[in-house]
Chains A and B, each alone.
Chain A
Amino acid sequence: GEDVEQSLFLSVREGDSSVINCTYTDSSSTYLYWYKQEPGAGLQLLTYIFSNMDMKQDQRLTVLLNKKDKHLSLRIADTQTGDSAIYFCAVPNSGNTPLVFGKGTRLSVIA
């Protein structure tokens, strides 16, 4: 089955860029996702990228996909204190709909 790995913590200064990385194992995944979870809350879909794309940009968010290395990253430009949250990378399990999540990267933004 699919396995998704992320680093657990990231700390950045307000105004800097944040880069959160993720690796996965199943190359047949069609869509790859980034979710945001604020304390005590559910998951909010931030963005997703189709597997035939290398990059997707949406305002302050840039997703980069390296299919050869099975590496996905999320860049947040001009990081704000409101971006402090846990960010989850998620990939469908072998093309099926249940998502496999990484353990999440806790982003702390220092003012």
Chain B
Amino acid sequence: NAGVMQNPRHLVRRRGQEARLRCSPMKGHSHVYWYRQLPEEGLKFMVYLQKENIIDESGMPKERFSAEFPKEGPSILRIQQVVRGDSAAYFCASSPTALSYEQYFGPGTRLTVT
């Protein structure tokens, strides 16, 4: 059973461009969580999605950031018009149920904005 997959692993964007980060949860998992890790910081929760629904987006910046988890395909975290402050590692976790002890993390996407 493959683990949580994220791609790309590294992404470089110029200021003003769009970044799309993809997360494929573990097989059988229908709950996805996105976290952001700034340099020298812990992970900060961004958004929690279940198939086709956003359950909790209390950690998402109000502008430029959006997330989806369609019926088919991976979950996508989209950042429009990136700025230098968006440079961070973005981690996705998945779980089969809405229970935190079952969250499994992917390897992360490291976004660098130049």
Give residues in A with beta carbon < 8 Å to B. Answer: 4, 31, 33, 35, 41-45, 48, 88, 90, 92-93, 96-104
A/B interface sample: 22 pairs, CB < 8 A:
A31-B100, A31-B101, A33-B100, A35-B105, A41-B107, A41-B108, A42-B91, A42-B105, A42-B106, A42-B107, A44-B105, A45-B103, A48-B101, A96-B56, A97-B99, A98-B45, A98-B59, A99-B35, A99-B45, A99-B103, A101-B43, A101-B44
Chain B interface residue count, Cβ-Cβ cutoff 8 angstroms: 25
List B6-30 residues whose CB lies under 8 Å from chain A: none
User: Please, how many angstroms separate the alpha-carbon atoms of A89 and B40 in the complex?
Assistant: 15
Residues of A within 8 Å of B35, CB to CB, are: 99, 101
Of residues 29 through 43 on chain B, the ones whose CB sits less than 8 Å from some CB of chain A are 31, 33, 35, 40-43
Across chains A and B, the number of contacting residue pairs, with CB separation under 8 Å, is 58
User: Which residues of the partner chain A approach B45 to less than 8 Å between Cβ atoms?
Assistant: 93, 98-100
Does A102 contact B42, Cβ atoms closer than 8 Å? yes
